[in-house]
Amino acid sequence: MHHTQHDHFETAVPEYQKHSALAAAIVALHTANFPALLSRENFEAVPLRRMGVTPEGTKLGSVPGNGKAAAAGRKVDDVVVSIEGTPVRSREPFTELLHKGGARKLRVLRRGEESIESVVDSSGDKDEMERARRAALRQAKLVAEQKKFW
């Protein structure tokens, strides 16, 4: 089940609610009856990547002097135009693109009329090795699952 701020009780469809409740109950029953405990490996999330800015939409609202953004020459009021070639039009894709994929990110910023391209590399961060290990583990599990079916 997924809920958003747009959900309203009066628009709920009773048949859908019953179906969702039944599906959740079946999953819970089967999970509770697994023959072994579920692995707790990678149970806690790796801390998110930090750029060292406070975004206001796609504009940089603050750039503390001790962060990666300041070291890369970012300034307050710079506007993030794209990350890894994907246009950024609001805060959500801005943070999503920052966190997914590899440690090196090509960013295009606009400062007034000037367009600035730069690569920010997080590979030296302490959590990047763990992030890469988990990504490789997920990929290996995916390949193993695909081999079962093909």
Q: Does any domain span residue 132?
A: no
Is position 4 within any domain?
A: no
Q: What is the pLDDT of residues 68-81, one digit of tens each?
A: 788 888 889 999 99
Residue 38 in any domain: the answer is no
Within a domain: residue 111?
Answer: yes
Alpha carbons 42 and 132: distance in angstroms, whole number: 12
User: Strand 114-121 vs strand 79-83: parallel, antiparallel, or unpaired?
Assistant: unpaired
CATH number of the structural domain spanning residue 113: 2.30.42.10
Domain that holds residue 69: 54-121
Q: For the chain, what is the domain count?
A: 1
Q: What would the pLDDT profile of 51-104 be if each residue is shown by its tens digit?
A: 778 888 889 988 888 877 888 888 899 999 999 999 998 888 888 888 888 888
Distance CA 58, CA 146 (A): 39
> CA angle, corner 90, sides to 67 and 69, nearest 5?
10
Q: Please, which residues bridge with residue 79 across strands?
A: 59, 110
User: At residue 98, what are phi and psi to the nearest 5 degrees?
Assistant: -65, -35
> Does residue 8 lie within any of the structural domains?
no
Would residue 67 count as lying in a domain?
Answer: yes
Q: In whole angstroms, what separates CA 84 from the centre of its chain?
A: 14
Q: Is residue 116, in this structure, part of any structural domain at all?
A: yes
pTM over 0.85: no
